[in-house]
Structure 1
Amino acid sequence: MDESIQPVTPSVMRERGADAYDRGLTIDDHNMNPSALAIADWREGWLQRRAQVCAEQMLIAALGMTPP
Structure 2
Amino acid sequence: MFRTTPRGVQVQEDAQRRKPQQWIALDDDLEDWPDSCRQNLVACEGTTGLSNPEVQHELREKLRSCHVALSARTP
TM-score by length of 1: 0.42
More strand by share: 2
The structure, 1 or 2, with the larger RCO (C-alpha pairs under 8 Å, 6+ apart) is 1
TM-score by length of 2: 0.39
